[in-house]
Amino acid sequence: MELLGVRVEMPANTPVVMLREAEVEGGGRVLPILIGGPEAAAIHTALEGIVPPRPLTHDLTVTLIAALGARLERVVITEVKEHTYYAELHLAGSAGASVVSARPSDSIALAVRVGAPIFAKEALLDEAAVEMDVDDADDEEAILDEFRDFLDDISPDDFAG
């Protein structure tokens, strides 16, 4: 997935992280995930290359992972249940490989800091992604409009089963 960035959904003023299928002809699908304000700030800070004077939580986590002799190999956004998204951190180190459950927003904040790739399961994209065409692929407002339409038409029953 390609991280398009963090946008603010108006009028609710809700941060949305936008992920798009990478290397897809014709625009691909976009996976919008509602996230919290602090996580949005953490992702934005890392994208902008801003280094805080003291390590913030995600910076500390990256340092801890390295201190334990491991590295973040990839992040996988796995599923959505009752409007809650789930992700996994895939770690590798001298003790072998480990998979740790995490929130997508925290996972993305870590991935941006270490340059780890972000993936999404195909079943999740089939369920929750918004299809984009060539004309809309680089138009942020069009992406948000499609996401607003998606939110208007969704119900909890859509995620049942």
Q: Looking at per-residue confidence, does 24 or 160 come out higher?
A: 24
Q: How many domains does the chain have?
A: 1
Summarised one tens digit per residue, pLDDT across range 37-96 is 999 999 999 999 998 899 999 999 999 999 999 999 999 999 999 999 999 999 999 889
Given a cut of 50, whether residue 157 has pLDDT beyond it is yes
pLDDT in tens, 101-151: 999 999 999 999 999 999 999 999 999 999 876 555 455 566 666 665 655
* 8 Å CB contact between 82 and 65: no
Selection from 110, 87, 91 nearest residue 99 by Cα? 91
Q: Are 120 and 107 in contact (CB under 8 A)?
A: no
User: Is the predicted pLDDT of residue 161 greater than 60, yes or no?
Assistant: no
Task: Give the residue numbers spanning the domain of 60.
Answer: 2-159
User: At 29, which CATH number?
Assistant: 3.10.690.10
pLDDT at 137: 47
d(Cα 93, Cα 71) in Å, to the nearest integer?
A: 6
Query: Maximum Cα–Cα distance for the chain, whole Å?
Result: 48
